[in-house]
Amino acid sequence: MRYLLIGNPNVGKSSVFNLMSKTYAHVGNYGGITVEKKQGIFIHGDLIDLPGTYSVSPTSEDEGIVTKSLLTDEYDGIINVIDSAHLKRNLHLTIQLLELGKPVVLVLNMIDELVNSGKRLDIVKLRTKLKSKAVSISARTKEGLDDLLNELKAVADNQGFKLYYGMAIEKAIDNLIALMDKNNNPTLNRWAALQILEGNKDILNYIEVSDKAKISLIISSCEETVINDKLGFSLKGAIFNYRREFINNLINDCLTTVSNKNYLKIKNHKLDRIVMHPFYGLLIFFAVMFSIYFFTFDLLGTILSDGIDIFISESFSPFIENILLFFGAKEEGILISLLLDGVIAGVGGILVFVPQIAILFLMLAVIESTGYMARVAIMLDTLLSKFGLNGKSIIPLVTGIGCNVPAIMATRTIADKKERLLTILIIPFMSCSARIPVYALMATLFFDKYKALVILSMYIIGALVALISAKLLSLSIFKNTANQFVLEIPPYRLPSGKNVYRQTKLMINDFIAKAGKFILLGTIVLWFLQYVGPGGVAKTQDTSFLAYLGNFFAPLFKPIGFGAWQASSSLIVGFLAKELIFSSMMVIYGGEALVSTAFTGLSAFSFMVFSLLYLPCLATVGTIHQETKSLRFTLSSLLFTFAVAYFVSFIVYQVGSIFI
């Protein structure tokens, strides 16, 4: 059997997916997390996790995936995940799904939160009125999970849910059905007609009609009637009003108040008055972020990273060298140089920072799952709107701290094309996890007492550059963009240990897999370029191919503080993957000690800033092109990021030189 998993954003849909299947989907507390279909296998078959959506009528690219899947995918039934504590809002989508005529199982999630709010749901009445299977669960506590799996053993029969929309709209539905090619499915025809009346233009891509010109006449005539009869301010509004009336009656019958005191709401309100305060809220946000980076880079993370570094340099590398010597390898030979100076120095150098990255991911996962990040988004919306950004841009920008690739894909939640392109253009300025090794290296060598502060400054600089760039672009290339922002504020929740663990594990595995794929190949190529020159085996680094390549670009970087070929070579290689900047520096310079002699504190900081802002990695460039379908925009984004990086680093180094 094959089920589609559908629901509003922030209803715990991905949590249900994770509980039911062996596959993991990222869990967060704001809309737009799932922007692609994710497939998992559960005990009774396949499970397809679709993006969160408020309606089957798409307003953004990710919501369009839902419509396409409903009409073109092969599936046996739909699992509709509903937030029990917000039934009125969630049931609008439920009605649209029921009207499609496919078997639907309603999953009333967060039932524990409904109880804490002083309410009780009569699920038997709900099943009867909606003519569908329904199960109440709590994904956080796993309550009701066995009941849900039992309901999914066999696909439910469609019991024919049908809502009456009044004489004018029903007449328009009949007229539209008459224009459709016969497919022997009157329920699907009625559903498609309703979608047309609601303004779902994409629906015409999936159905055949005999006379498209008549559709506009039917819609305009119906809309004129419903407005004159004061059924709504528009045709779409009138359809919404009929559904709202049905939902209100349904809730009055099925939902009872046990206690007038909503403890959950009272608790959330008290916390929000502090956490979302325009002044104290910002202080709390910066304190939280500083604490995360201090704990990651100054305390536990550093201790663990130092331990791995000692193990690799003092135990693992000598062990490998002794084995090679035992089997006859030459001490100064090519094989030992390749493995020790190339592979182990590059890949091993990245592994040193895995503990710090793991701790960072873990702590970000914890605060995200509490519902705090959604409040940060709301709190910062007013500020960001002054820079020409749509409020929905906050989600991709925050996601960019982990990796720019999924962040760019997350822009699909932004309906306006200009707003989406603007957001894509500035996401590479958000510091991704791949840059952390470079920050950690430079901060340790040159700013040891202020590591956390210096590393945090990279994130602040990236965010400021993104905001300023957005403002300038919104006043020029991307002007006249709307700024509409709708985001739910979830209740505060205790993080699920399992979800936090799985999310952290997934991100670490992705980082290691990506690092391993690019760095293993990159360090071998890098070692070869360093080991060989125009005359054969390079006697010194300065006569290698890498030195010739680096020296060609080195004068370009001299005004920003690092005009040596070694630094420029690392940045060139870093275009393939940002993880390669650090690993290439370890190979080229031959260790941290020589790096410390090649930079000053100011040039090191300038190098960090340039590494933060310059060209996005090759994977990000590919994603930009994939999402925009424009080679011109992709190339323009490369030129833009490089120009901004050079300008900011030039200011940092030249102004710093005056005072130092």
188 with 85, same domain?
Answer: no
Cα 36 from Cα 278, distance rounded (Å): 34
Mean pLDDT, residues 292-302: 76
3-state secondary structure of 315: helix
E strand residue ranges, 99-169? 104-109, 119-121, 133-136
For residue 19, the one-letter residue type is L
Question: Quick one: how many helices (H) and strands (E) in the chain?
Answer: 31, 10
More confident site: 544 or 454: 454
The first and second tokens of residue 248, run together, are 């209100």
Report yes or no on 538 lying in a domain: no
Q: How far is CA 146 from CA 17, 109, 636, in A?
A: 14, 13, 53
141 and 171, same domain (yes or no)? no
Is 552 domain-assigned? Answer: no
Of the pLDDT bands very low, low, confident and very high (cuts 50, 70, 90), residue 61 is low
In three-state secondary structure terms, 382 is: helix
Q: Which residue has the tokens 């993080």?
A: 495
pLDDT score recorded for residue 224: 93
| CA distance linking residue 252 with residue 260, whole number of Å | 15
Q: Residue 521: which residues within 8 A CB-CB, separation 6 or more?
A: none
For the chain, the average pLDDT equals: 83
User: Which CATH number characterizes residue 46's domain?
Assistant: 3.40.50.300
Q: Is the pLDDT of residue 190 over 80?
A: yes
Q: Are 610 and 448 in contact (CB under 8 A)?
A: no
Position 30 scores a pLDDT of 45
User: For the residues of 132-156, what is the DSSP string, one character each?
Assistant: SEEEE-BTTTTBTHHHHHHHTSSPP
Residue 191, classified by CB atoms within 10 Å of its CB into exposed (0-12), middle (13-18) or buried (19+), is: buried
> What integer pLDDT is reported at residue 560 of this predicted model?
94
Same-domain status, 21 and 45:
yes
Q: Which of 131-145, 538-552, 603-617, 620-634 has the lowest mean pLDDT?
A: 538-552
pLDDT at 558: 92
Mean pLDDT, range 94-104, rounded to an integer: 93
Q: Say how far apart CA 358 and CA 355 lie, in whole Å.
A: 5
For residues 124 and 67, membership in a common domain is answered with yes
Q: Could you give the CA distance from residue 364 to residue 524 in angstroms, rounded to a whole number?
A: 34
Domain for residue 575, yes or no?
no
User: Residue 518 pLDDT more than 80?
Assistant: no
Residues 140, 9 share a domain:
yes
Q: What is the mean pLDDT of residues 582-611?
A: 87
**Sign of the Cα pseudo-torsion (465, 466, 471, 473, in order):** positive
Asked, for residue 602, whether it belongs to a domain, the answer is: no
> How much is the pTM?
0.66
Q: What is the pLDDT of residues 429-445, one digit of tens each?
A: 998 878 888 898 899 89
| Three-state secondary structure call for residue 532 | strand
| 74 plus 172 within the same structural domain | no
* Span 192-218, average pLDDT: 83
Domain's final residue, options 257, 285, 302? 257
The stretch 616-630 carries a mean pLDDT of 83
Inside any domain, residue 242: yes
More confident residue, 202 or 165: 165
DSSP category for residue 416:
S
Share of residues in the chain with pLDDT > 90 (%): 27
Q: Please say which residue of 120, 151, 182 terminates a domain.
A: 151
**Predicted pLDDT at 464:** 93
- pLDDT tens column, 224-268: 999 999 888 899 999 999 999 999 999 999 999 887 666 667 777
Q: What is the CATH number of the domain that holds 241?
A: 1.10.287.1770
Number of domains in the chain: 2
Contact 606, 562 (CB under 8 A): yes
- Same domain membership, residue 206 and residue 96: no
Q: Is the pLDDT of residue 29 over 60?
A: no
Residues 9 and 124 in one domain: yes
Q: What is the average per-residue pLDDT within 87-100?
A: 93
Are 171 and 144 members of one domain? no
Question: Do residues 203 and 175 share a domain?
Answer: yes
Between CA 516 and CA 528, with CA 522 as vertex, the angle to 5 degrees is 135
By DSSP bridging, strand 45-49 and strand 532-533 are unpaired
> Is 660 part of any domain?
no
What is the domain extent for residue 237?
167-257
Which pair of tokens denotes residue 141?
Answer: 């506590």
Choose the final residue of a domain: 121, 151, 181. Answer: 151
Cβ atoms 369, 499 nearer than 8 A: yes
Which of 76, 75, 83 is CA-nearest to residue 107? 83
Question: pLDDT for 420-430, tens place per residue?
Answer: 888 899 999 99
Reported as a pLDDT band with limits 50, 70 and 90, residue 167 is: very high
pLDDT grade, residue 516 (50/70/90)?
low
**pLDDT value of residue 592:** 81
* Predicted pLDDT of residue 468: 93
Domain assignment of residue 98, yes or no: yes
Q: For residues 480 and 124, which has the higher predicted lDDT (pLDDT)? A: 124
pLDDT at 183 over 70: no
Do 142 and 171 lie in one domain? The reply is: no
Contact 381, 391 (CB under 8 A): yes
For residue 163, pLDDT beyond 90: yes
Same domain, residue pair 141 and 222: no
Q: Determine the pLDDT at residue 530.
A: 72
**Pairing of the two strands 45-49 and 104-109:** unpaired
Q: What mean pLDDT is predicted for residues 48-74?
A: 81
Domain membership of residue 622 (yes or no) is no
pLDDT tens for 454-488 read 998 999 999 999 999 999 988 888 765 555 555 66
Highest mean pLDDT among 371-380, 451-460, 636-645: 636-645
Q: What is the pLDDT of residues 31-59, one digit of tens each?
A: 455 556 778 888 888 888 888 888 887 76
Looking at residues 574-592, what average pLDDT do you find?
A: 79
Higher pLDDT, 337 or 128: 128
Q: Are strands 536-537 and 532-533 parallel, antiparallel or unpaired?
A: antiparallel
Which residues, in sequence order, are bridge partners of residue 257? 119
